[in-house]
Structure 1
């Protein structure tokens, strides 16, 4: 994990979380311009970071590869679409996917990166409303995309992308009871074949579980840390994690919380 901002400073330091030791280890710093609003994905033992906005307000389209083995970075082919921030990214199989986001017009395109050829291929354009700050979760061979906002309107639709057929599939929208999941810059991750979403850009901390078999949502308790926006979420094995983020007043967090879906939690 790396890049982002701390108060008014953009950062390029990079860190790895060791789940067994419950410790953070500093890695080689990100070599590109410091940025916020970028994206990242992993393929095998390589990590990839790109896009975002620099300290001068420029949207970026550069991309970089990080090697877990050598702890070194190298610049790769620039993103195939327009420069942007607040996009989505995910990995399915041996390719990384990047799309949507704010390119001044709110984009709907989707691109696949092939590390074997160091090239980007344009895929089928997203068929839902344009949006920024959406959540993307991979469950099995499908990516699920939703939430986010369009011109200030918070969205509650939910979509699946199938890379084999290169098609978008409409799924069950969030209901009125789940309206607080609507919003941008939420946190999403997958554990044991189910997706989890919380902390969209509002004041609710409820955690919701998505079951792709039933195409339905159910509540799974609340995030037990302080409310925050622009936080970072990931999963390792059977656990989910949420860290960083801040409040509208400018308070920033560096704590780390672990979520275990096998442990029953209080339902709000």
Structure 2
């Protein structure tokens, strides 16, 4: 009896068991570098201090509004495109907020809008406004009854809480009641205020402070400010429990007010500048929210000493934009603070066999290095993504063509990706990027064939990633699982394979990568337990990206042999040997 063997078996997401997706831990130790983005020509905003800025993640731009200018308070709106370093004055519609400085501003991604609250201009304000960043229309969304708003003030700090979709504001100053220590929430779902001030421990009254949102822990972080002199304490407000915690420790930066801040992707609260008892500062400090320790950052060639600058954080690329402020007069320069580091060396191997000699186009490979990502993430879309955890991989081949790879998995120590189709043979450069920053680089040989078999334990040996295909005398057939878990060795092993009755045929279906471009079955050889057996199919599996398949008959001469080695060659290249067990 003969069975024609060009069938392909769908194996679903089990392939990820064989990809070796081990998320290695590793602390990010970023260096930071300033870059001056101030245009040398074109229209630009007037110099100013104590305005406000947000980052519009949909429009990929910085939005600034208002502030104190050289001829008085302002209420203009500008957009800065970091990709081209150009400013555009936005032609907003509707009545804008009154000219002002010292107000809160946050970005509501759901509504794609800028939200501002309070400030000082012709007087002190307690109004709330939104600017639709699609239509550029201003709306006054303040409660009509003044008694339903917090007291008028300026010099508070505010963040956006995406869970409650609210602007959360703390403290500030008013001529009516001096300085505050209240915590207020403006819900955008119903445009109403709720007093979130807890009864217990809270920061002392203050104004002119800075605040930032800690996304990882859903906290509002506040620092410094003024109360009859500058302050230097650090607090967190838990937006879920609505409780304050003092994070201050014995070693702190000089007390200051009118500084600006953000929380980076690694969980550091970072501030720049401010007014101290010694004058304006150009210092950059980071407080690690996990280690609870301050560290002064030595980023070179940065902005001049100043206070009253405004800033906006681009979470996707982990970069921070700082604009304006006042030093020796008001300023209108714009700067980028981004993580910089020397790219680490990376090594690329077959994700199946871990062989280092070569990789093939459209094959699945594993790349190893240090601090490649801030966390672990597996692909969950079809087609595969080209970015995970803000990380991408680009392959530049021997012909000089660079292509972006599709990703299976990203972690701090390992990336699994698909070698792009069309990658030319020869030496290729493989680069890893975090956003636009090169963080890893290495070279690897590209060849038409780089065959390797996936193994159940993800180490390139032992029990294979495989199934059995059993064909009965009447040509009916079944698919069987090959693997079982051995608790004694804590490893996956091959089940004992029963070859059945004399006229049954049992085929071993192995999965791997790197052989789909073989020149034909005549280049494929196989032995099982030293017994030669024909290969009936060797090509793409057809259902999963980069996965290849090879089918072979298990000879009945192996009955009662127990554990035997499966040895294959394709195109003269030996594959990693694997082992099965025959009853």
TM over 0.5: yes
Aligned residue number for residue 97 of structure 1 = 221
Aligned residue number for residue 338 of structure 2 = 211
Moved more, 31-40 or 103-112: 103-112
Q: Which aligned pairs between 1:7-156 and structure 2 lie closer than 5 A?
A: 7=122, 9-29=123-143, 31-44=149-162, 45-56=165-176, 58-77=178-197, 80-93=202-215, 94-125=218-249, 127-140=252-265, 141-151=267-277, 153-156=279-282
CA offset at residue 151 of structure 1? 2.3
Q: Which runs of 5+ in 2 are unaligned?
A: 1-115, 343-435, 437-583
CA distances 1:158-200 after superposition (whole Å, capped 9, x unpaired): 011222222222211564x732xx1111111122321111212
2:178 is paired with a residue whose SS is coil
CA offset at residue 37 of structure 1? 0.7
CA distance in 1, matches of 2:195, 2:272: 30
1:200 is paired with a residue whose SS is strand
| Contact 1:156/1:173 (8 A) holds in 2 | no
CA distances 1:103-122 after superposition (whole Å, capped 9, x unpaired): 22311111111122221011
Q: Larger Rg: 1 or 2? A: 2
Aligned residue number for residue 312 of structure 2 = 189
Misfit runs of 4+, over 3 Å: none
Aligned residue number for residue 246 of structure 1 = none
Greater relative CO (CA pairs within 8 A, separation 6+): 2
CA offset at residue 65 of structure 1? 0.9
TM norm structure 1 = 0.73
CA distance in 2, matches of 1:32, 1:174: 42
1 or 2, which has the higher strand percentage?
2
CA distance in 2, matches of 1:107, 1:50: 15
Q: Which runs of 5+ in 1 are unaligned?
A: 216-261, 263-268
How many residues are paired up? Answer: 212
CA distance in 1, matches of 2:341, 2:151: 43
Aligned residue number for residue 169 of structure 1 = 295
Aligned residue number for residue 6 of structure 1 = 121
CA offset at residue 214 of structure 1? 4.3
TM norm structure 2 = 0.35
1:165 is paired with a residue whose SS is coil
| Contact 1:157/1:173 (8 A) holds in 2 | no
CA distances 1:78-113 after superposition (whole Å, capped 9, x unpaired): 581111111010111211111211022311111111
CA distances 1:124-144 after superposition (whole Å, capped 9, x unpaired): 347111111001023313221
CA distance in 1, matches of 2:137, 2:275: 35
